[in-house]
Amino acid sequence: MPNSLPVIVGFGGYSAAGRSSSHQAFRRMILETLPAEEQVNTVVSLACLMAQVTKEGETYRDQQGAELSAAEVDQQFRQQVLDGTLIRKIELFDPANIPGHKKISFTDSPDQAVQFNMLKRDLPKVPPQSWQVRDLEDGNVEVTATGSSQYLIESPYELIAKAAGQLPSGFNPSDHYNSRFHPRSLQMALLGASDAVHSIGIPWDKIAASVAPDEVGVYSSSALSQMTEEGFGGLLQARLRGGRTTAKQVPLGLNSMPADFVNAYVLGSVGHTEAITGACASFLYVLQAAVRDIRSGRRRVAILGNAEAGVTPEISEGFANMSALGSDENLCKLDGTDTPDWRRASRPFGHNCGFTLSEATQYIVLMDDALAIELGADIHGAVPEVFINADGVKKSISAPGVGNYISFSKAVAAAISIVGEDSVTKHSFVHAHGSSTPANRTTESHLIEQVAIAFDIYDWPITATKSYVGHSLSTASGDQLVSALGTFKYQTIPGIKTITEVAPDVAQERLRFPLQDLDVSGNKMDVAFINSKGFGGNNATALVLSPTKVEEMLAVRYADQFNQYLDLRKVTRAAAAEYAVQADAAQLDVIYRFGEPLIEEAGVTISTEGVHIPGFARDVTFSRENPWQDMQQSAAAVQAQLDPLCVPD
């Protein structure tokens, strides 16, 4: 079908606010605004995820085995849930005691000769030339080092920024499947993609059987690769720490591995795969690729997203040396205190001093609208367009530039052409990049203000998810998108609650920055704009339509099938609700297909019509259409045109 609409039929993942599917993480962000019963359900589900309690039937048990009701879980563990989610002091390691080394030197002086004993077996294969080694008893040697020499001695150091957005306390992705040797970000990719697939409410096998194998695409990456011990982090550190590299660190460290893991271990897909990065805008880069392919008809199903485990000492120190992070010292200066307020470290559009690093994984599942109608998928929104533009010549690779003016204004213009001016000017909101740096608060607010002036928009609501979960690098705009889906569901825009006032240098004439949750039930949102700015000039803006608006559009396109679709959707919603109950009990049912029978290559058959792959309901078929047919003529016609030109004088 021409002009297929890419609709969101599933979403999942994990951030500092919790699990994305069934809006658990969104409910954590607007917890105090929710009705009392829904607050209890949210706290209890997070307590399960954080391994504070387990659920058996309708009964909960604490770590000592005592039976508890949901109300008792809420009463006993609410504060732990609140303290163990969102931005907080780093828990993954001790940020005040990072293992490190100090280089020391000894000069060439007889009075400063260094002498020590050690085991002979620990001698380096090639000892330094300045060492004189003498054998002792019991396998020891005496080493005398003369002349100039250098040594590394253990010397712990302290991070200047100790706040981060981390997965909820007590939630360890590796506990939920056999994760041996997997870097943390790949563990998160498996869990996030599994959550998204389960959230659809339609078995993956049924979806896969409904399309050709090459009509499925996976679009995923990590901007900084896998920098923990099991990936590039361990690879680069091993020899300097006196260790050895492993056979897995290079392949598992590649930034394309999230896509590879989803293909191999979640879906078992042989379809299209694409790993794109655009710094902090990477999620919108993979989203654009998926939207492009679904709109063109090349793909009918797309699983897309990112996973980033960026809370490591090295990455933190690197960003801190760029003066990009909000340091403890500067947070104290902002507040006039001696103790940093880590909970409020990220302060978009307020008085701020830098961004807050975080980790997250977010995945969504797109279908073309025809397949969604056919299968009875529950539609949570649609992404008709994503725009990406660079900055041109830059004075600094990390400085903002003009590209975002293009991407953002094109998104607004596209929205008006699709859903009309009224939906955009009166019923839209913006999920800003909102990184919490002084440069961002002025430049991004100014560009949004200029767009508002151009399209005659007033009182435009602007929110910033990073105030809750921090900056998860490649996954950041995924955090924004799933939050926008939450707004469509609950008709609440999360306030920027970490600031007490909007900074005076922020443009505000046409914009509205709510500092508390904003109820928009009386002015329901039709459109969300997801904006992202990445180092190097990676600017991207996505246009997202609400499920209500999408349903209105599809009811027109599929008038004859729509009632049947609504009946099928009831079944889908019931299945998705069953998974939500299970997942709220932290029974995540992570899909990990390692060890399943492989596709037998001997069973693959190729013909002039296509390729048959064992185990797949449909074949890959070859297209016979020539897209350049208008450029070709018969050989006789070409020769007839050339013959007069070839007559000799």
Residue 492 lies inside a defined structural domain of this protein: yes
Confidence of residue 149 (pLDDT cuts 50, 70, 90): confident
Is-contact 347 501, C-beta < 8 A? no
| pLDDT of 344 higher than 80 | yes
More confident residue, 31 or 535: 31
Give the pLDDT confidence score for residue 627 in this predicted structure.
85
| Residues assigned a catalytic role | 280, 433, 471
Asked if residue 115 and residue 148 are part of one domain, the reply reads yes
- Mean pLDDT computed over 281-291: 98
Residue 128 has what pLDDT? 87
Asked if the structure places residue 578 within a domain, the reply is: no
Does residue 317 sit within a domain? no
AA letter at 617: A
Residue 638: per-residue pLDDT: 67
> Is 250 inside any structural domain?
no
Question: Do residues 48 and 170 touch, judged by C-beta distance below 8 A?
Answer: no
Three-class HEC string of 576-644: HHHHHHHHHCCCCCCCCCCCCCCCCHHHCEECCCEEECCCCCCCEECCCCCCCHHHCCCHHHHHHHHHH
User: Within this chain, do residues 71 and 122 fall inside the same structural domain, yes or no?
Assistant: no
Burial 51-61 (b: 16+ CB within 10 A, else e): ebbbbeeeebe
Number of domains in the chain: 2
232 part of a folded domain = no
* Residue 111 counted as domain residue: yes
Averaged pLDDT for residues 245-264: 94
Same domain membership, residue 216 and residue 108:
no
Q: Could you give the count of Cα atoms lying within 13 Å of 554 in the half-sphere of its Cβ? A: 31
Q: What is the pLDDT of residues 196-223, one digit of tens each?
A: 999 999 999 999 999 999 999 999 999 9
Confidence grade of residue 110 (pLDDT, cut at 50, 70, 90): low
Verify that 64 and 206 share a domain, yes or no. Answer: yes
- What does DSSP assign to residue 646? G
Task: Give the tokens for residue 635.
Answer: 């050989």
Tell me the pairing of strands 381-389 and 6-15: antiparallel
Q: How many other CB atoms are found less than 10 A from the CB of residue 134?
A: 11
Torsion angle of C-alpha atoms 331, 333, 339, 343, degrees rounded to 10 = -20
| pLDDT, tens only, 30-89 | 999 999 999 999 999 999 999 999 998 889 999 999 999 999 999 999 999 999 999 999
Q: With a cut of 50, say whether residue 1 has pLDDT above it.
A: no
In terms of residues, how long is the chain? 649
- Report the Cα 197 to chain-centroid distance in Å: 16
pLDDT of residue 646: 66
Kindly state whether residues 33 and 62 are assigned to the same domain. yes
Domain boundary among 557, 592, 627: 557
Mean pLDDT for the stretch of residues 281-304: 98
Do 513 and 425 belong together in one domain?
yes
Pair 134, 183 in one domain: no
Residue finishing a domain among 557, 577, 599: 557
pLDDT for residue 649 is more than 60: no
User: In sequence order, what are the beta bridge partners of 151?
Assistant: 104
Range of 121's domain?
101-154
For residues 124 and 199, state if they share a domain: no
Q: Would you state the pLDDT for residue 631?
A: 81
Give me the helices (H) in 200-344, please.
Answer: 204-209, 232-237, 249-253, 257-261, 282-296, 313-321, 328-335
Average the pLDDT over each of 24-38, 236-250, 583-597 and give the range with the smallest value.
Answer: 236-250
pLDDT tens digits along 600-637: 899 999 999 999 999 999 999 999 888 888 887 666 67
Residue 322's pLDDT is 93
Q: Is residue 567 part of a domain?
A: no
Q: What share of the chain is helix, strand, coil (3-state, %, to 5)?
A: 40, 20, 40
pLDDT at 316: 96
Specify whether 421 is located in the same domain as 533: yes
Task: Say yes or no to pLDDT of 645 above 80.
Answer: no
Average pLDDT, the chain: 94
Residues 150 and 169 both lie in one domain: no
Quick check: helix, strand or coil at residue 518?
strand
Domain check: are 134 and 25 in the same one? no
pLDDT at 58: 86
Say which amino acid occupies 612: H
CB neighbours (10 Å) of residue 242?
Answer: 9
pLDDT at 630: 80
Residue 63 burial class via C-beta count within 10 angstroms: exposed 0-12, middle 13-18, buried 19 and up: exposed
In-domain check, residue 565: no
From CA 315, how far away is CA 215, in angstroms rounded?
37
Residue 65's contacts (CB-CB under 8 Å, 6 or more residues apart) are none
Interval 7-22: pLDDT, tens? 999 999 999 999 999 9
| Whether the Cβ atoms of residue 430 and residue 525 lie closer than 8 Å to each other | no
Give residues with Cβ within 8 angstroms of 286, minimum separation 6.
219, 220, 221, 274, 275, 276, 304, 305, 306
Q: For 289, how many CA atoms within 13 A lie in the half-sphere containing its CB?
A: 22
C-alpha 312/C-alpha 539 separation (Å) is 26
- For the domain that residue 303 is a member of, what is the CATH number? 3.40.47.10
**429-484: pLDDT as tens digits:** 999 999 999 999 999 999 999 999 999 999 999 999 999 999 999 999 999 999 99
Question: Of 557, 580, 598, at which residue does a domain stop?
Answer: 557
Same domain assignment for residues 534 and 467: yes
**Confidence band of 303 (pLDDT split at 50, 70, 90):** very high
Q: What is the per-residue pLDDT across 368-410, written as a single tens digit (0 to 9) for each? A: 999 999 999 999 999 999 999 999 998 888 778 899 999 999 9
